[in-house]
Amino acid sequence: MQITASMVKELRERTGAGMMECKKALTETDGDMDAAIELMRKSGQAKADKKASRVAAEGTVVMMISDDNKHGVILEVNCETDFVGKDDNFLKFSQDVATVALSQSPADVDALMGMNSGSDTLEDARQALVSKIGENIQVRRFALVNSQTGVLGKYSHGSRIGVMVEIENGSDELGKDIAMHIAASKPACIDENDVSPEMLQQEKDIFAAQAEASGKPPEIIEKMVQGRIKKFLGEITLLGQPFVKDPDKSVQKLLSEQSAKVLSFHRFEVGEGIEKKSENFAEEVMAQVNQTS
């Protein structure tokens, strides 16, 4: 398979490795991007897929919780510039969308946009706002939380990050504290039972390859891998993370002290996972050539 400059560029952005290393990895994996990343991580050339979620989209995250604290919605609406993201018309539209989502519980974004707010559908209102403001505006995603046994807590970091958490036996203060922690620490899931076997096996393979390169005996390698897996699970699971307001205490211990349990959480960050426009790659290559010549 022909390895193109755009493929090399993407791999560089996702790993932070050098251009030649990226091209070599893509060549060895026949252009398979994920396989190239894994190969580079095993060889130590890439620490992680760090830049896969570089973003450029602007907008806002809106959250609403019902008066009985049992129903909630978290929603992201995108625009093109930060200026429009702070515009009163854009913010009112975003609030209207969240209000409809909370009251009518649509199945998906398409169903939501077909629902009425006043005399017009939300899609009609969106198109009218696009015409008025002159920027592309999209309702990107939402999540509904309906709790039978718990209460809902939320935390907003400005308008760019929002977290909604469902807690059993938790107080309002605990709900806010846990939501704040999730906003700051970005756990992938609640506990290790929620980690997919595929993700766990992939990390084990990577850790094993890195440990074998040290030349240590198999029994030592096994202990090294188990230690790395334990650390990995502590980093990505909510319960395993040190609580941001008291790092000497894990989130699990904090919850246990209050006989509380996290049932679910949603963390939305504006533009998360949307690739942003980058500089001219040809110019970047020429700049590197000039530096080495």
Rounded Cα–Cα distance for residues 231 and 103 (Å):
42
Residue-wise burial string across 88-104, b where 16 or more C-beta atoms lie within 10 A, e elsewhere? eebbebbeebbebbbee
Same fold, 1-52 and 58-190+252-269: no
Cβ neighbours of residue 115 closer than 8 Å, sequence gap 6 or more: 100, 104, 106, 121, 122
Rounded Cα–Cα distance for residues 288 and 293 (Å):
9
The pLDDT tens digits of the residues spanning 239-266 come to 999 999 999 999 999 999 999 999 999 9
The pLDDT tens digits along the chain (293 residues) read 889 988 988 887 777 677 788 889 999 999 998 888 888 777 766 544 443 333 337 999 999 999 998 999 999 999 988 999 999 999 999 999 999 999 999 999 999 999 999 889 999 999 889 888 878 899 999 999 999 888 899 999 999 999 999 999 988 899 999 999 999 999 999 998 888 888 888 888 888 888 787 778 888 878 888 888 888 888 889 999 999 999 999 999 999 999 999 999 999 999 987 755 544 545 555 555 555 54
Superfamily of domain 1-52: Ubiquitin-associated (UBA) domain (1.10.8.10)
Domain residue ranges in the chain: 1-52, 58-190+252-269
pTM reported for the whole predicted model: 0.70
Superfamily of domain 58-190+252-269: Elongation factor Ts, dimerisation domain (3.30.479.20)
Residue 153 is inside which H or E element, if any? strand 151-157
Cβ neighbours of residue 63 closer than 8 Å, sequence gap 6 or more: 72, 73, 74, 75, 98, 154, 156, 162, 164
Name the DSSP letter for residue 189. Answer: B
The pLDDT tens digits of the residues spanning 105-129 come to 999 999 999 999 988 999 999 988 9
Using alpha carbons, select from 138, 75, 141 the residue that is nearest to residue 102.
75
